[in-house]
Structure formats: C-alpha cells, structure tokens
Structure 1
Amino acid sequence: MSDFKDKVVYQIYPRSFYDTNADGVGDLRGITEKLDYLKLLGVDYIWITPFFVSPQRDNGYDIADYRAIDPRFGTMQDFEELSAQAKLRGIGIMLDMVFNHTSTEHEWFQKAIAGDPKYMDYYIFRDGTKDCPPTNWQSKFGGNAWAFLPELQKWYLHLFDVTQADLNWKNPLVREELKEIIRFWKAKGVSGFRFDVINLISKPDLFEDDNEGDGRRFYTDGKHVHEYLKELVRDTGIADMITVGEMSSTTVENCIRYSNPAEKELSMCFHFHHLKVDYRDGDKWKLMPYDKKALTNLLRTWQERMQEGGGWSAVFWTNHDQPRTISRFGDEKEYWAQSGKMLAGLIHMMRGTPYIYQGEEIGMLNTHFDSITQYRDVESLNYYKILCGNGLTEQEALTVLGARSRDNGRTPMQWNGEKNAGFSEHEPWIAVPSSDYKVTVEAQKDDPDSIFSFYQTLIRLRKEHPAISHGTIEFQNTGTEQVMAYLRKSADEKIAIFANLSAESIEADLPEGAWETILLSNYEEKPLRRAGRVTLRPYEFVAYTD
C-alpha cells in the first residue's frame, strides 16, 4: 500500500464552500475556482462530502443515485473539469462513499417497497406488526431504528434518519453494486475515497433487544466487517489509493486491523473518542467544560497503541459533524489566534495524516444562532424537540444546540468581509455567523502572523521533517494537566512539542535534552526556561528541536 504519511487532506463541504451561480448554495465550480487558494495553503488532497443526487434530508448523506450529480451542485462536466484542474495543481480528489445506507428514494429501495424480492434483499427487512418493532435499537438521530411499512407489513432498519435505509451487506449482489460505484468514480480520475460509518456495515445474524444500551454493540465493528473491506479493496483495485474509514464507536484493536498495511483494508481511520471529552455522562446533548486530562489520555492511548500495532490514524479536530475547534477547545475572544494556532500545531505534529476542515485554517467559529428557525440540520431539529420534551426551556435547548449542532461546521466559508462573507451574491442556504473581519481568507492569506500562515507552515514542516511524518511518538509527563507534550523521533532528529491548553501561564517539565532551537511557536518571544522547566503563556504552542 502507498505511503500517505507526509500528506495533508482538506475537507470541503460543497454546499457551504463557494457559490458561483448565485443560488445561495455552494457548487462544484466553486471548488474549481478556489483551487489556487488550496494550492497556496499547500494541501495534497481534497475530500469532498457527497454531491450526488439526494433529497438532502441529511445534507447529501442520503444518496438516491451514486453515479449522478445533484443539479444544485452542478453537472458531470463540472466534476470532470474540477478533476482535471485539481490534477494540474497536484491536488488529488477524495470522494465520500456512503455505503452503510441509501436514501429511501433510491431506485433500489423503491423497487424493494414495490415488492421486488431481489431488491428487498438489498435492505434489512423484518416481518412484524405496527406496534412491535423487531428490536429496541435507537436511531443515531433519535427514536427507534426501525420504520414500519404498512403496504408490506414489514419493518426496515435505519440506523440514521428514517429516510436512510441500511443496506444488507450479507447479500453479494449489494457488495458487487457498491464495487461498481467505486470503479465508476475511479474512471473519472478520483484519487481516493472516504467511507462513511463503514464499520457499521456488518449486522448480526440474530436481531435482539439491547437491554444495556442503544443497540450499537450488536452492529459496531461486526464480525464480517474486515472480510467485507478486504473484498471491496481487492476487487476495486484501490489498495494503493488514499482511503479513510469513518469508524463510529470503534476500538483501537479494530482500527489497527482496518489500517495496518498488512491487512490490505484501508490507509487510515477516523476515530472520535477524543471528541467526547465535553459530553457530560457520555451524552452529546449534556454540556460541560472539556476534560483536559481525559483529552490528553485519549490522544496518548490512541497514538501510542496505533503505533504499537502498526495502524494509522486520520488526525483531526473537526469536520462537517462537529463544532468549530476554537469554540470548543480554545478561546473565541482574547486568545482566538493563539488558541487556533495551538490546536492546529498540536494535531498536525502528531503521528497520522492531518485533516483540515474548511474554515478551520482561518479560525472560523460556531454559529451563535439565537433562533431554532436558523438551524437546518435534521439531527439538530430532532434533538431540539427532544430536549424541550425532556423539560429544557427553549433557550436552554438553543444553548445546547449552540455548542453541539452539526450546523456549527456547516455555515458558509468566510472568504472576505463583504456581503455574505463573499460566499454568495444570494442569501445563503444557512446564515453566515456574524464575526470579526479577521476571520476571513482575505484578511489572513497575506499576513505572515495569521492562523492561515501557521497552517501553511505546519503543512510544509510535515514534508520537510521525517520525524513528523514518519517518526515515532512518545507522550511526556509535564507535571500539569494543563499542558500536553510529546516527542517525535526519527533516526537523526528529535522534536519536542508543548501545548498549553489553558488561558493561564503554566510551568511544565521539559524532557531531558538541550532543546535550544525553536522549530515553531505561536508567540514571537521565546518562552521562559529555567532548571528543566518551561513557562508557557496562555494557549502557547512551541516545538523544540534537540
């Protein structure tokens, strides 16, 4: 399998990236127009979230036709032009394959509910009566994970929205259909694939109630998932392409298997345990300040154990399903730039392939919407009703959404300080948050002290320093929970990374060594050092070489 360790991927949510036809929705031409910007940033690949034909119940993750482009995003000719122009700039395109489920508007499901036995076996149907679902499993969007079809007197499984019916991977015809989709896009010049919730595809032989949880223990990292992935990769010839699997509620052991080159499955894995450190009682919809000690311990465990097992991670803070990084782990006001740079440095210096989500490189922030009418995300709208039904006031429910909604990462890219942040001449599909003029591409791209410039430097350093791209990682005890530190080592280089996670000046222990040379810092002046200790200013990031 190929080596992607010195590469950096940029995620694009096309609906919110750049609108070229003034309809308020970003499009494929918008990505093509901004390729020079992405080249300036220095990224190697762009992962584009789904732009296929879809009723858009879940913003494109409910696909009705895997081989056709939704007209709101453009045409196949637009995609082919994007692919060609990206290739000219040395940028590869990764597509998002949603293979756990399809939209209920997909031709396969429509044939299934019309009673065609071939296509009924493409999905997971169970007999039953209207008041008795096959199991008590919960949908990840709220409510029971089974929907009843009176015309068939059957239930179908939907782990996500009711309009997203789970595919039956036990059926070899389904697996062949999905392989054909991969081959189709490979022929269009695609360089890699991201597989949505791919570790949920192997369902159990026996469907039973979960009296301990929401059902996920029965279908997460299921018993045939590795065999299915090996078959998919082998039969589509994508072993040497960049591939990443989104792994929901997974384990280190499984991620090692998914991403160890010897297994011939995927290049790398997304895993999310570090993004649950501000979930009170493990519940996404209950707020608390994030637990710094837990964050360090989780990153340490995953980094070091993936290293021991020969696995490889996609390292990231945010995506289209997560709140904005600075709003969540940094400081939106006084230390906006410092915390944005610190969080970037901390993740980009780790072992793994870094992913940048659009707008992260300019420090974009959460929505701060003050009305439910401003939200568009189906999960957010569902949970607003659930939260209010559980006794929260409307304002309390909005406060929760303000911190947790997936719309936090879906507002339009802020290109400049003009109308609609330069995203569109038309009113955008979702509002542009009001924010400081500094939070734009125009304000930052030529400023050597900007968050954008810091990201450029991080990308360049990964390519220049084997200790960062290919080296080992070893976390350090700093004597304080407020500072995270680790060493990266190659045959002829050592780099020590320190990150102050707090808004206070903190003293931390240095590892043995001289550590005289600063490779990168987010403050102009060197930090104060004495007797084997370093004093880090609020949200200070510093990387030393020995």
Structure 2
Amino acid sequence: MKKWWHDKVAYQIYPKSFCDSNGDGIGDLRGIISKLDYLKKLGVDIIWLSPIYCSPMVDQGYDISDYYNIDSQFGTMEDMDELLREAKARNMYILMDLVVNHCSDKHEWFKKALEDPEGEYADYFYFREGKGNKPPCNWRSYFGGSVWEKVPNTNKYYLHVFAKEQPDLNWENPKLKNEIYKMINWWLEKGLAGFRIDAIINIKKDLRFQDFPADREDGLCSIDRMLESAEGVLDMLKELKEETFEKFGAFTVGEVFNEKEGELYKFIGKDGYFSTMFDFEMEMLGKSEKGWYDNRTFTPNELRTSIFDSQIKTADVGFKANIIENHDEPRGVSNYIPKEDLNDKSKKMLAAISLMLRGIPFIYQGQELGMTNTKINSVEEFDDIATIDQYNVAIKEGCSKEEALEIVNNYSRDNARTPFQWDDIENAGFTTGTPWIKVNKNYKEINAASQVENEDSVFNFYKKLINLRKSEEFKDAVVYGTFESVLENYDNLFAFYREGSSKKLMLLANYQKEEQTIELPKLYSKVLLNNCDEVKHEKDKIILQGYQVIILVV
C-alpha cells in the first residue's frame, strides 16, 4: 500500500549548528525558518530536527529537562509554531526527536525521585540496592564506566545506560508510560508530522540486573549483552504505536541498531511499529566493540556487500531510511572515500549510490555540499563526550597521545556538528558572533553560496538525483521498483537495477581511482545522470573513469 511519505526526501537539521539568527553563536529556530526556501530548492519534503527541548546540554540536548518547552538558546514556542506554519505553507513536514529512553537528571521527575528514593517518582526510574559496596551489576554505559550512579548517603544506585546525567526511564511503570504518551500526543496535535525515535530498543531492560562476563580490563560488559537477553520490547513498541502515532497517521523513523534475527517485519512491515527505521548496515562496517582505536578500514567490496545484503533483506518487508551520515557519525565522504581521492566526483558517486537505493533518503545537513571531517588539534577542543571517552580508551590501550588524537579525529561526532557552511565570509555565514564550535577551515572552498548557482556542483547533483526520484517518468522505478544487484564479479564496482512497471534503470559506479572496463549485460537507451563529461565506449564495453557513476535507462 502506498503511503504519503514513500516518495519524499528527508533532511536532518542539527539546530545548534545550522543557522544562527541572533549572533549568539548558536543555531536557532528563526535561523531554520530563514533557510526553508534553500531546503525547498534542494527538493526536501521532511525535516527532522535534533532535540530543541529544554536541556542542560550534557549530551547536546539528548538529556531533556522539559518535554513541553523549547530551550531558550533555540528560541521560543512561538518560533516553533511559526516554523510549523511556514513548513506547511511549503508542503513540508516537521519531525522532532523523541528521546524517551531517558531524561535529564534536572527533570522535575528525577529531582523528586532523588528527594525521596522510596517515593512514587523513584519508580519512574530504576533505583536498586548495591551489592555490598559495589553497584548492582557490571553493565557498561555507552559513554564508558558503569551504568550505575550512587545516590549520596544511601546504598542505592540509579541506572543510566548513557551519561550519568541521563537517568533511564522505567517503562515497566504504567504511570510513567502514560505521561510519555500524553506528551507525544500533545506534540502531534500541535501539527508535528511525526518523530525520529532515539535509542528505542533500550527501553526494555533485563530486570534480573545480573552480571555478564567482562569484555574489557575494567571488569564491565557491553550493554549489548543486556539488550540481547531482555525480552518484551516488542509489546512495549506495539502499545506505544497504538496509543500515539497510529491515531495521527504519524511518520516515524526508529533508531534501531539491534533488532533480532527475523524480526525486521515487526518494526517496518505492513503493521510495523514504525514507518521506517535507519539502515545502519554500512555505518557498522569496520566498527569494533572494543572502541574506536580498534576500528578497521574496509574495502569497497565489503561496503557493497553490506548495502546490497540490506537491500535484499528489506525488499519484501518495507522501506528503510538510507543514510550516509548523521549527527552521531563522522562525515560520510571522509568515512567512505580515501582522503587522497576525495573530490566532487567521488562525492557525487556516493550520493548517487545512496539516493538510488530502495528506501527513503535522509540527507544530513551539509551532506548535499560534500562537507568533510574537520581537523582538531588537541583533545581539549572536542565538545563531544563520546569522543573524549574514546580518546581515554585509546590511551589506556597503549596508543600515544598523537595516535589517540588521530583516531578520534577520524570518528568524532564533532565532525558532523561543525557549523553549516553557507558562504565564504567569516564563520561561513553561520553566525555574526563566535560559533559554539569551530567552523571547518575549508568553508571558503565548500559552501552553499558557491554551489547553488553552479550547475556542476555537488548540491546540484543531489538536486538532480532528487528530481529523478520524484519525476513522473521514473518515480515508479526509483521509489517503488525492485532492487537487483548485478556484475558482482567485478571488484570495486557498484552495479544494480531499479525496475518499475514500465521502466528499468541501471546504476554503475566505479568505486576506485583507476579506470575499469565493464561488459554490460543489457543495452542501454539513454544516460540519465553522469558525474563525468562523457561515457567512454570500446566496442560493446563501457569504460568507467575513476569514481564515475552513471544512471542508465536499459
């Protein structure tokens, strides 16, 4: 069944770094409103805002102290209402980030829980007695260290699978759940189109709170072990959908890293809990549970396998949300293309592969310009807590300070959080003040102003890809058509068909700097898109230049 969002293109805004309207160095809602026409020009329909709720900003707004209000650094509720109106006037939809696995330790509920760890609000969280003078169990938080934080002057601990300032909410408590449902429905009534749903698998805990075998020197185990043994999250997600999203026909995209084998259809199938969920298969490539210091580089062939396998696995189930990067990852072009080969041509190739896949594309701010990782010279300059933790892990594992710094430079979340590069004037046109985080030095070469009017820019290549997806002639193939991989006997070649009821397209991408000669299995009638000046032929073969991508009608 066709849904309203199937043929849409989504765009993630990290509000703090997008556009600052008042010169305080922090992006805000009025800044976003001022750039809606830019997004419309690109072809964006759905905008997801990373958190703008009231927050002490320990984890960049993912620690919420008041779900019903906008943090003053981003503006006011009036600004939010205006954004909803202005988006609607342009046929655009707004999603907010839904962060309900945990809240901030400054939230009213948690303050009341600390005042009375035996009282009603303590049951909104997980308070447990320690084992002797030790925490209740040996789980490690996502940001390092124990998931348990001691409550002063007691032998009680509270659970936080992220930072200690982010206590986990107790979804076993019906009162707490109803508070969450009420809040979600309040926002949907206000005119939100839906939500991106943060870290949602974490809401179900293994209530035995038992130790698992330690997997690092610290004596702790990965929180993933707990998630693997926890049962019952699906019932919680079903109820969440029925009590909220379903009533409004809301569009929802889940952040789900670890659905269990064979359960994908429960998340995004015909009656799935969410409209879609992010495809993290390529994001997980080369990642090590031990930490960033142990990550390994991967080959184009491995990347191809991970993307194609995911496409095949999802084909008969539903639509995934395809991403190259987001606010939690380094810049995609820096992550997936070797430094020495990074240029507009290779950036366009990566864009074409992503936007021609089956699923809904999510573009992260600046991706459409080919923004890259930044260079940070000392650990003190990092803002992100995960980066600082990973730097310390690398040092503990025997890396020198220089090596540790290079490792975190490659993988830091701060890479994606540097200010959006609007133009080549001071601070890249992001702010007239001092930006909260350093602007990438390459803003004079990479910026929106120089690309929007340049027909050959990365921006306009994205625009052409989006137009192709939406065109009456090819939408059926690109949005709804089948995916079929082909020519996998060639190394470093991405080749696949997208076939609709009347049209069949083929993408060919040469994922290397050397030319490659390909024998095509089918003749083609037309070149729809090409990131090079020409398509070279030799008899019945096609010669792809380094990082060339072409989209053909076959």
Q: TM-score, normalised by structure 1?
A: 0.95
1:520 aligns with 2:529: yes
Match of 2:380 in 1: 373
User: Aligned with 1:253: secondary structure?
Assistant: coil
User: Aligned with 2:82: secondary structure?
Assistant: helix
In structure 2, relative to structure 1, the CA distance for the partners of 1:38 and 1:386 (3 Å cut) is same
Output the CA distance in 2 between the equivalents of 1:3 and 1:154.
49
Output the CA distance in 2 between the equivalents of 1:18 and 1:9.
18
Match of 2:92 in 1: 91
Q: CA deviation at 1:254?
A: 2.9
Do the aligned residues in 1 keep the contact of 2:535 with 2:544 (CA within 8 Å)? no
1:139 aligns with 2:141: yes
In structure 2, relative to structure 1, the CA distance for the partners of 1:502 and 1:275 (3 Å cut) is same
Output the CA distance in 1 between the equivalents of 2:261 and 2:465.
27
Do the aligned residues in 2 keep the contact of 1:6 with 1:469 (CA within 8 Å)? yes
Q: CA deviation at 1:287?
A: 4.2
User: Aligned with 1:435: secondary structure?
Assistant: helix
User: Aligned with 1:102: secondary structure?
Assistant: coil
Match of 1:24 in 2: 25
Match of 1:241 in 2: 250
In structure 2, relative to structure 1, the CA distance for the partners of 1:17 and 1:221 (3 Å cut) is farther
In structure 2, the gaps of 5 or more residues are 216-220
Match of 1:491 in 2: 501
Output the CA distance in 2 between the equivalents of 1:66 and 1:30.
22
Match of 2:360 in 1: 353
In structure 2, relative to structure 1, the CA distance for the partners of 1:31 and 1:124 (3 Å cut) is same
CA RMSD of aligned residues (A): 1.9
Match of 1:218 in 2: 226
1:297-446 → structure 2 map (5 Å cutoff): 297-308=305-316, 310-331=317-338, 335-435=342-442, 437-446=444-453
Do the aligned residues in 2 keep the contact of 1:249 with 1:273 (CA within 8 Å)? no
Do the aligned residues in 2 keep the contact of 1:27 with 1:74 (CA within 8 Å)? yes
Output the CA distance in 2 between the equivalents of 1:61 and 1:130.
32
Match of 1:41 in 2: 42
User: Aligned with 1:120: secondary structure?
Assistant: helix
User: Aligned with 2:527: secondary structure?
Assistant: strand
Q: CA deviation at 1:274?
A: 1.3
In structure 2, relative to structure 1, the CA distance for the partners of 1:529 and 1:148 (3 Å cut) is farther
Do the aligned residues in 2 keep the contact of 1:252 with 1:302 (CA within 8 Å)? no
Paired AA for residue 268 in structure 1: T
Q: CA deviation at 1:530?
A: 4.2
1:264-275 → structure 2 map (5 Å cutoff): 265-275=273-283
Match of 1:171 in 2: 173
In structure 2, relative to structure 1, the CA distance for the partners of 1:281 and 1:31 (3 Å cut) is closer
Paired AA for residue 244 in structure 2: T
In structure 2, relative to structure 1, the CA distance for the partners of 1:417 and 1:25 (3 Å cut) is same
Q: CA deviation at 1:448?
A: 0.8
Output the CA distance in 2 between the equivalents of 1:504 and 1:283.
33
In structure 1, the gaps of 5 or more residues are none
Match of 2:218 in 1: none
Aligned residues: 542
- 330-339 vs 368-377, which deviates more? 330-339
Output the CA distance in 2 between the equivalents of 1:106 and 1:279.
34
Q: CA deviation at 1:328?
A: 1.1
In structure 2, relative to structure 1, the CA distance for the partners of 1:291 and 1:146 (3 Å cut) is farther
In structure 2, relative to structure 1, the CA distance for the partners of 1:252 and 1:497 (3 Å cut) is farther
Q: CA deviation at 1:377?
A: 0.5
Do the aligned residues in 2 keep the contact of 1:10 with 1:43 (CA within 8 Å)? yes
1:259 aligns with 2:268: yes
1:81-120 → structure 2 map (5 Å cutoff): 81-115=82-116, 117-120=119-122
Output the CA distance in 1 between the equivalents of 2:212 and 2:159.
15
Q: CA deviation at 1:173?
A: 1.3
1:62 aligns with 2:69: no
Paired AA for residue 436 in structure 2: W
Match of 1:156 in 2: 158
Do the aligned residues in 2 keep the contact of 1:475 with 1:485 (CA within 8 Å)? yes
User: Aligned with 2:225: secondary structure?
Assistant: helix
Which of 489, 499, 502 pairs up with 1:479?
489
1:72 aligns with 2:81: no
Q: CA deviation at 1:469?
A: 0.4
Output the CA distance in 2 between the equivalents of 1:197 and 1:416.
35
Match of 2:130 in 1: 128
In structure 2, relative to structure 1, the CA distance for the partners of 1:408 and 1:130 (3 Å cut) is farther
Do the aligned residues in 1 keep the contact of 2:423 with 2:443 (CA within 8 Å)? no
Identity %: 37
Output the CA distance in 2 between the equivalents of 1:6 and 1:160.
35
Output the CA distance in 2 between the equivalents of 1:353 and 1:530.
38
User: Aligned with 1:416: secondary structure?
Assistant: coil
Q: CA deviation at 1:331?
A: 4.9
In structure 2, relative to structure 1, the CA distance for the partners of 1:111 and 1:529 (3 Å cut) is farther
Paired AA for residue 313 in structure 2: R
Paired AA for residue 377 in structure 1: D
Do the aligned residues in 1 keep the contact of 2:374 with 2:415 (CA within 8 Å)? yes
Output the CA distance in 1 between the equivalents of 2:172 and 2:194.
25
Output the CA distance in 1 between the equivalents of 2:327 and 2:538.
40
1:504 aligns with 2:514: yes
Q: What are the Cα deviations for residues 140-184 of structure 1, in whole angstroms up to 9, with x where unaligned? A: 111112211133421221111111111111111121111111111
Q: CA deviation at 1:76?
A: 0.5
Paired AA for residue 216 in structure 1: D
Do the aligned residues in 2 keep the contact of 1:248 with 1:272 (CA within 8 Å)? yes
In structure 2, relative to structure 1, the CA distance for the partners of 1:539 and 1:445 (3 Å cut) is same
Output the CA distance in 2 between the equivalents of 1:499 and 1:158.
44
Which of 455, 466, 484 pairs up with 1:459?
466
Q: What are the Cα deviations for residues 353-375 of structure 1, in whole angstroms up to 9, with x where unaligned? A: 00000000001010111122221
In structure 2, relative to structure 1, the CA distance for the partners of 1:298 and 1:240 (3 Å cut) is same
In structure 2, relative to structure 1, the CA distance for the partners of 1:529 and 1:42 (3 Å cut) is farther
Paired AA for residue 479 in structure 1: N
- 165-174 vs 68-77, which deviates more? 165-174
Do the aligned residues in 2 keep the contact of 1:9 with 1:353 (CA within 8 Å)? yes
User: Aligned with 1:448: secondary structure?
Assistant: coil
Q: What are the Cα deviations for residues 422-467 of structure 1, in whole angstroms up to 9, with x where unaligned? A: 0001110100011163310000001111000011111111112211
User: Aligned with 2:505: secondary structure?
Assistant: strand
Output the CA distance in 2 between the equivalents of 1:184 and 1:158.
27
Do the aligned residues in 2 keep the contact of 1:86 with 1:93 (CA within 8 Å)? yes
User: Aligned with 1:369: secondary structure?
Assistant: coil
